[in-house]
Structure 1
């Protein structure tokens, strides 16, 4: 409890115009006041009881309060305003502050008491009117000073509470501005500021919890964004490799498609060639058949010639016999038959040469017949071989046709696959571009998360924050 210093008290007394004359007036009037004081105080507390708020403040302490006020008024009407009075009025102001009696009620109550005292002055000095004005003046000066000092004590205590509250809040806000979200106001503040203290601590606790959540979220975001960034980079590399491999596959597939197309074209050409070979083989077969037929006719002609030669041979034999007989007859005829014998000899020689010639021709014809038969046999074998060749060519033609059809289907299928691979390559290139964009976005997100984490690292968390963070993790 603070006591007003002497220099402050003296200055107040001078400013209020309170001197020895006022003390004399107060001391002279005190006996009358002391006798009327119980009634005045009874009227005063009866008036207070009519106000619910004031009645609640006073409660059942009327007797104690009346005794305290009587003692205080005894010090007041001494008019000296010494240390005992100063301590008492300071204590009264502090008591008012403690019970919540605001200055407006205190000032209004003093007006009631002052009115009763002024009425008492008129009743006391009605026969000495020259004492009325200076007594009322002394009462006004003393009561106003008393009220001012009580209210000043009340306000000083209030200002002390305000200053304490402001200092505590300012210090807490300074720490909060420094990033210490675990700051709390632990000092005992006046009851007028108890709610402010509770609200501040609650708000900072919620802010601490929020910042803790933000810090945990920022760390998780930073960790997650780093993983996303790493995964995006890995995906970008794998997508680039896949795009390159797919591009090579597309190029190789184009070459295979072109090769298959050429194979299909060659197979078609081979089909045509085999068809022509089949036609030629069939034509060869027909030629062989014709040759066999001609050989058969030649063999038949040879047999006919052989028969004719047999006839010639028979004629030569008969001619030889005739020539022999003619020679015998010419010999019998003697000289007359010499010319005829010469002719018969020539005919015989001619018949002998004809027989020899027919033998040679027969021999040649027999040889020719044998050769013709051999030729017929060979041509027949050739025909049989040509028939087998035609059959094989037909089979080859069928197989080549199937190969050509399969090659054409493969070519068509490869064209579709090539088109699909080209579309897949285009989609892969687009995916690679999107992956690059996603990688750039993930990198940006990672950088922003790092900046957010650096920003949140500014705040100092409460000791329970890491536990909450670990439990949340």
Structure 2
């Protein structure tokens, strides 16, 4: 889920170079989004964000990613994410790609219609968020679960904790996308039994992605990491 415009979020590294930034802009442009020029004025705000966020969290990020990588094979087996799931998702991926733009557009239209969520989109480039979220889902449904995917998922979870997004709002976003994907699979297969295999595969990998995000929230809270506004903990239900 992408609730804030944190550029280069899924691939950000504190050692990134201008060349790496330009390469990511090229990839976004190829995906249909122009991105931003490296000298965009918003990079100043992004630099402030990186220093504040990563100064506190980068110390723990590598620890979290390393631990997840060591456990990941066993977690995949526990969740029954096997070759059948991978094959099923790869075959269904073109259908997801076809409908993902409209699903994401409806997602942001929905989320910006509520005061408790719309405040996270103030002065943000929603088109950029759409591109980043599309890239995240594409990597998830490729179902290779590489270290790059794990690092990206951890960074997404930690950043959304940092901006102070309550966990229930984060999970609400997952819920909406998951329901849309399940409906898409059932509709595509005209309600046939073949849809059950696709739906179960989607649920398995989205639940895994959600589990990583929740784990990051709990770890950040356990490590007493501050949010963007200097508060600690984002588990309350207050608006």
Q: Same fold (TM over 0.5)?
A: yes
Kindly indicate whether residue 123 of structure 2 is the aligned counterpart of residue 84 of structure 1: no
In the alignment, does 2:161 pair up with 1:122? no
SS of the equivalent of 2:142 reads coil
**Structure 1 match to 2:77:** 14
2:35 aligned residue: none
Matches within 5 A, 1:233-244: none
Give CA-to-partner distance per residue, 1:212-254, whole Å, 9 cap, x none. Answer: xxxxxxxxxxxxxxxxxxxxxxxxxxxxxxxxxxxxxxxxxxx
Residue 63 (structure 1) shift:
1.5
Tell me, yes or no, if structure 1 residue 134 matches structure 2 residue 203.
no
**Pair 1:48 & 2:108 matched:** no
Deviations 1:309-332 (A, max 9, x none): xxxxxxxxxxxxxxxxxxxxxxxx
Query: What secondary structure, in the 3-state scheme, does the structure 2 residue paired with 1:192 have?
Result: coil
- Greater RCO (Cα-Cα under 8 Å, separation 6 or more): 2
User: Residues 177-212 of structure 1: CA distance to partner in whole angstroms, max 9, x if unpaired?
Assistant: xxxxxxxxxxx9982249xxxxxxxxxxxxxxxxxx
Displacement, 1:92? 0.6
| Contact 1:4–1:86 (CA under 8 A) maintained in structure 2 | no
Q: Distance in 1 between matches of 2:78 and 2:231?
A: 32
The answer as to whether partners of 1:27 and 1:78 remain within 8 angstroms in 2 is yes
Structure 2's unaligned 5+ residue stretches are 1-60, 234-239
Deviation at 1:82, TM superposition (A): 1.0
For residues 70-122 of structure 1, the C-alpha deviation after alignment (integer angstroms, 9 at most, x for no partner) is: 11111101112110100110111011112211221111111111111111112
Structure 1 runs, 4 residues or longer, greater than 6 Å off: none
After TM superposition, list the pairs within 5 Å mapping 1:73-222 onto structure 2.
Answer: 73-126=137-190, 129-161=192-224, 191-193=230-232
Which structure shows the higher helix fraction? Answer: 1
Structure 1: gaps (5+ residues): 166-187, 195-473
Is the 1:57–1:100 contact (alpha carbons within 8 Å) kept by the matching residues of 2? Answer: no
Asked if the contact 2:140/2:149 (under 8 Å) is kept, the reply is yes
Change (3 A) 1:11 1:191: farther
Deviation at 1:155, TM superposition (A): 2.0
CA contact under 8 A between 1:161 and 1:190: conserved in structure 2? Answer: no
Identify the residue that residue 351 of structure 1 maps to in structure 2. Answer: none
Aligned to 1:205: none
Tell me if the contact between 1:118 and 1:136 (Cα under 8 Å) persists in the aligned partners. Answer: yes
Aligned to 2:96: 33
CA change 1:71–1:21 in 2 (3 A) is same
Q: Residues 155 and 24 of structure 1: is their aligned pair in 2 closer, same or farther, counting only changes over 3 Å?
A: same
* 1:359-390 superposed Cα distances (whole Å, 9 cap, x missing partner): xxxxxxxxxxxxxxxxxxxxxxxxxxxxxxxx
Contact 1:25–1:138 (8 Å) recurs in 2: yes
Which residue in the other structure is 1:66 paired with? 130
Query: What is the alpha-carbon distance in structure 2 between the residues aligned to residue 39 and residue 96 of structure 1?
Result: 23
> Aligned in 2, Cα 1:118/1:61: closer, same or farther, shift over 3 Å?
same
The answer as to whether partners of 2:163 and 2:229 remain within 8 angstroms in 1 is no
Asked if the contact 2:164–2:228 (Cα under 8 Å) also holds between the matched residues in 1, the reply is: no
Judge conservation of contact 2:221–2:232 (CA < 8 Å) in 1: no
RMSD across aligned C-alpha pairs, in angstroms?
A: 2.2
